[in-house]
Structure 1
Amino acid sequence: MSYAERGVWFLQQAAGAEACNLGAAVRIPSPLDPERLFAALTVVAGRHEAMRTTYRIDGASLVAVVLPENPPQTRLIDAVDWTTEQLADAVRAVHAEPFDLAGGSPCRLVLWNRGAAGHVMFFAMHHAVTDWNSMVQCAAEMFELYGNGLDVSALPAVTAGYGDFAAAQQAMLAGPDGAAALAYWNSILPAARPPRPVPADRERSGRATAQQILPFGFGAEAKKGLDALAWRLRVPVYLVLLGRWASALRPVETGQPLVVGLSRTLRKPAFARTVGCFTNTIPVVVGPEAGPDLPSVVDGLRRQLQESYRHQGYPNELLARHRPDLGAAGGRPAMFDAHFNYVPGDADNLGSLFTGDAQVRAQAGGLLLESFPALPTVGMWSDFSLHLTEAPQRLVGMVGYDSATFSAATADAVSRRFADPAGHPAAVTP
């Protein structure tokens, strides 16, 4: 098993199913053959061992078992007379359903038949067997197969299984690179867990979280401005966005460091077509020595990430074990209080479609697809999470927050500080 698989499995025991389910809903106004779409997903599952994986306890160990066949869960529901609100409630309910990791499929596809209005589709996988990029890849393969008569020869070959990645990770950790990475992370992390950057409005009861999202986007002009600023600062645009997110959260007046979890992919070329959880969340530290202006924050992030790139393969689940003082606090399963995830655009525009922005459309497999924003699309269990995805000529995204701890007004203030740099002195651009 990889550390990501093990970590998410244990997270489900602590935080419940909803924190570990990745799901996306879309409208399909085109004529659709549900059985052919279900068959296409079954073929995709046959290509990827992660989609046929179950988990069991063997003595004191958690073991991953890849089944030769493990068809995805599929359902077709008559919703001809349902309202949009009823559909949204139904999508959220299915999203919260736990997967049977011991004996069932870690993947499900549900269709609601709207009659002349087409269908609403909900596609979900358990985070132990997938990450965001793998979700998009599975959907792209499913729609490709749907459109080509289930001709699997049209898809690129899978050159390695996810078990090969898990074995390579174990080999790295057993060697000098593992020890060097741990030493590096200990050198940059604060000596003790810093206080929350955003004070809680209320104390959570137990371990339960209640994730809510605030969707937003950057239009063409704002995207052009972000690209221009990135060019002036000689950094990728995601570093400008990470700097703005840190500036929106950083408690400058307290002099305390801010630790942000940054999603990085461990997918190497051999695993380019492999489905699995390749995402590792590494800590990014913005200390009190960073200046209040955005270029200063971005420059510090640039220098830090140039060094931390060499150590990004060290699993954050293992780091949490070595640094329990930076781990769960107040029942929160996230290692850190804030999270940042940036997803580049994909050829089919499915990533931005799945992010939930109501204005995104895509064509795949001969079908027209439209966003159906109804739920947190990515598994988010930090206090605050920012997820951004490239769309043609713009960015779509969402701020996720734990409503068991923070009010909607507090979350809206954080979102506005990020989206409108004029709303926060530390985020003003030159």
Structure 2
Amino acid sequence: MAAQLALSSAQTGVWMAQQLDPEDRSFNIGEYCDIAGPVDPDLLQQALREVVAATPALRARFDIGDEGLCQYLDDTVEAPLHRIDVSGEPDPRQAAERWMRQDLAKEYDLAEGPLVTWALFTLGAERTLWYRAAHHIVLDGFGLALIASHVADVYSALVTGRPRRPRPPGTLQQVIASDLAYQESEEYARDRQFWLDRLAGQTEAAAFTDWRPTASRASLRESGHLTPADFDVLRAAARALDVTWPEVVVAAIAVRLQQATGVREPVVGLPVTARTEPMLRRVPGMVTNVVPLRLSFGPHTPFADVVAQTSLRLEEALRHQRYPQEHLVRELPGLPEGRKQFGPDVNIMSFNYHGDYAGRPATVHTLCSGPVEDLTVNVYDRMDGRGLQIALDGNAELYDRAQLSQHLADIVALLRSVTGPLEHAPAGP
């Protein structure tokens, strides 16, 4: 009989949203790693089976039983490894990505599972892509990274014969227990009051376009980058202001939002791991949250002042990052009908999980990170010396590719320009 668990607050939010729109595929997340060399498919399948057996989230299915909505950890659930040879295609990588995007458009049966997908693409004798996807109810981006790292370690151990690295302690049961305890705690009450005070009177949700409620189930992506030299200058500028480079990036995007809208108190959403305990950072699952950063500045405020304010607000927000965004949206009046967020999201991912597959290096490529209500600015630092990748995901009913490309160009140009004399640079044009 499958073990039974309650859902985390993040999982409950995904479940409710999916029930409201069963045909919405935006909760499918996926990525692939480009491996420089061949991969033994039998050993990768063996590694996947071992990781799935050790990771309850990968065996979860969701249904309403006698005790209400639960997740069932089913030992019989197994996701096969699809083995696909595209080496004979005119453009092997394009053919592989086409298959992946078609897969991301499929429906996952939450009640039956499996809620993950694996595929291995052979592009040639020295080129392999490993694709992994999941429904957001079982994994967030951080959890997907933990899975990728675990699989890379087990696969490498199987190929080389070396021992597997010890797995850090922590269970999905502990993750759920921590979340339930938080919701009954004084910390939850303090976090709630902090956010109600911080966002009191917030009646605007600024957007880079004329926002309207949509039934969009698709998003568009446009990508660009800051060169390694530009990134070095950005980091040096951050050090000069005694802040981190992500704080400079968030401040710059808030400035661009104000330039585009004229709103004096722009709010940007910041996806956070919500993993405030060491145990939570060790266990794959769905825990992530989004915190709103409300800033206040004028068109002639020195950019250094905007950065300082961003740093302070971010520090405060991270201390209260577990309070669910959907709870906050329900409690605050004034947002336009249909809005579930306070502004565009700025999703900064600065960690290295490319992995090493038995001595063969791999580079990760993100395909889809989850629903996009308006616009998400994704900033990736893969810590590989290649600079910053910047990808804009826009709601397909609100943006076309030309608009996304222009917003991307504006943001990249602004990030390059703020590395000048920051203490004097104005926030606006």
Q: Distance in 2 between matches of 1:224 and 1:133?
A: 26
Residue of structure 2 in register with 1:99 after alignment: 108
Residue of structure 2 in register with 1:218 after alignment: 226
Out of 86, 99, 118, the position equivalent to 1:79 is: 86
Q: Distance in 2 between matches of 1:288 and 1:56?
A: 47
Q: CA deviation at 1:320?
A: 2.6
Residue of structure 2 in register with 1:403 after alignment: 396
Residue of structure 2 in register with 1:5 after alignment: 11
Q: Which runs of 5+ in 2 are unaligned?
A: 1-6
The Cα offsets for residues 180-219 of structure 1, whole Å up to 9 and x where unpaired, read as 211111111153441433223x866x51232111112222
1:335 equivalenced with 2:341 (yes/no): yes
1:229 equivalenced with 2:237 (yes/no): yes
Does structure 1 retain, via aligned residues, the 8 Å contact 2:61–2:115?
A: yes
The Cα offsets for residues 333-382 of structure 1, whole Å up to 9 and x where unpaired, read as x4233111112222xx42xxxxxxxxxxx6433334356x6x73322413
Q: What does residue range 141-160 of structure 1 map to in structure 2 within 5 Å?
A: 141-149=150-158, 154-160=164-170
Residues 342 and 203 (structure 1), Cα distance of their counterparts in 2 relative to 1, 3 Å cut? closer
Q: What does residue range 157-168 of structure 1 map to in structure 2 within 5 Å?
A: 157-168=167-178
Does structure 2 retain, via aligned residues, the 8 Å contact 1:23–1:122?
A: yes
Does structure 2 retain, via aligned residues, the 8 Å contact 1:134–1:275?
A: yes
1:345 equivalenced with 2:317 (yes/no): no
Out of 63, 73, 77, the position equivalent to 1:66 is: 73
Does structure 1 retain, via aligned residues, the 8 Å contact 2:47–2:155?
A: yes
The Cα offsets for residues 60-111 of structure 1, whole Å up to 9 and x where unpaired, read as 8321112234323421234343233433321210122222221112211012
Residues 80 and 364 (structure 1), Cα distance of their counterparts in 2 relative to 1, 3 Å cut? closer
Out of 186, 194, 198, the position equivalent to 1:184 is: 194
CA RMSD of aligned residues (A): 2.9
The amino acid of 1:4's aligned partner reads A
Q: What does residue range 263-302 of structure 1 map to in structure 2 within 5 Å?
A: 263-267=271-275, 268-288=277-297, 292-302=301-311
Q: Distance in 1 between matches of 2:368 and 2:90?
A: 21
Residues 328 and 44 (structure 1), Cα distance of their counterparts in 2 relative to 1, 3 Å cut? farther
Residues 31 and 304 (structure 1), Cα distance of their counterparts in 2 relative to 1, 3 Å cut? closer
The percent identity for this pair of structures is: 21
3-state secondary structure, aligned to 2:222: strand
Length, aligned pairs only:
410
Residue of structure 2 in register with 1:419 after alignment: 412
The amino acid of 1:269's aligned partner reads P
Q: Which moved more, 1:22-31 or 1:296-305?
A: 22-31
Residue of structure 1 in register with 2:98 after alignment: 89
3-state secondary structure, aligned to 2:158: coil
Q: CA deviation at 1:419?
A: 0.8
Q: What does residue range 239-258 of structure 1 map to in structure 2 within 5 Å?
A: 239-251=247-259, 254-258=262-266
Q: Distance in 2 between matches of 1:313 and 1:72?
A: 31
Residue of structure 2 in register with 1:357 after alignment: none
Does structure 2 retain, via aligned residues, the 8 Å contact 1:140–1:364?
A: no
Q: Distance in 1 between matches of 2:335 and 2:358?
A: 46
Q: Distance in 1 between matches of 2:284 and 2:84?
A: 28
Q: Which TM-score applies when normalising by structure 2? A: 0.86
Q: CA deviation at 1:9?
A: 2.1
Q: Distance in 2 between matches of 1:24 and 1:18?
A: 15
Residue of structure 2 in register with 1:50 after alignment: 57
1:134 equivalenced with 2:143 (yes/no): yes
1:303 equivalenced with 2:312 (yes/no): yes
Q: Which runs of 5+ in 1 are unaligned?
A: 351-361
Q: Distance in 2 between matches of 1:252 and 1:112?
A: 42
Q: CA deviation at 1:43?
A: 0.9
Does structure 2 retain, via aligned residues, the 8 Å contact 1:294–1:426?
A: no
Q: Distance in 2 between matches of 1:370 and 1:426?
A: 28
Q: CA deviation at 1:232?
A: 1.5
